[in-house]
Amino acid sequence: MAINVVLVEPEIPQNTGNIARTCAAVGANLHLVKPLGFSVEDRYLKRAGLDYWDKVNIKYYDSFSELRDKYKEHIFYYSTTKAQKLYTDVKYPDDCFIVFGKETAGLPEELLVENKEWCIRIPMRDDIRSLNLSNSVAIIVYEALRQNNFAGLVPYGKLTKYTW
């Protein structure tokens, strides 16, 4: 199953590095929408992604409109704390896009209003503002993979002498 993770204007290099590592582990494509709040040469970004940078397909865009225009026929889900629909309430098709906003502000309000039927949320207590971005990506990406029987992944790990 192909999954596309979109980060709109990410600000924290460690989060993006962790997300890149998750994308590498599951074969998801990572789409980064500028402006980025860091340099792609940032040592924290590199460290968080460890030695997996060559295993993730990363694409860069100058705006979200540029990305959306390029993939007009694809389904986009928008992760936000403002949605009514839970991330488990939708069926993630092959080659869908899951869009996440920047750490301090989330996705732009007008984007959410224009796409409210495609907005999803992760449930949490009402006195908590939000989850960490890299955790949110992992939660939703793994739900999409679970729904599709972890297609393309080794579900029980590598068989080694340490596997029980």
pLDDT for the residue numbered 40:
75
Sequence ranges of the binding site for S-adenosyl-L-methionine: 101, 122, 130
* Mean pLDDT rounded to a whole number for the chain: 90
- Tens of pLDDT, residue by residue over 29-40, are 999 999 988 777
Sequence ranges of the binding site: 101, 122, 130
Look at residue 11 and give its three-state secondary structure: coil
Contact 31, 59 (CB under 8 A): yes
pLDDT for the residue numbered 79:
98
Ramachandran category for residue 73: left, alpha or beta (phi over 0 → left; psi -120 to 50 → alpha): alpha
Q: What's the pTM?
A: 0.90
Residue ranges and CATH numbers for the domains of the chain are 3-147 (3.40.1280.10)
CA atoms within 13 A on the CB side of 104: 5
For the cut 80, the answer to whether the pLDDT of residue 52 exceeds it is: no
Mean predicted confidence (pLDDT) in 159-164: 56
- Work out the pLDDT band at 41, boundaries 50, 70, 90: confident
Handedness of CA 46, 47, 53, 57 (dihedral sign): negative
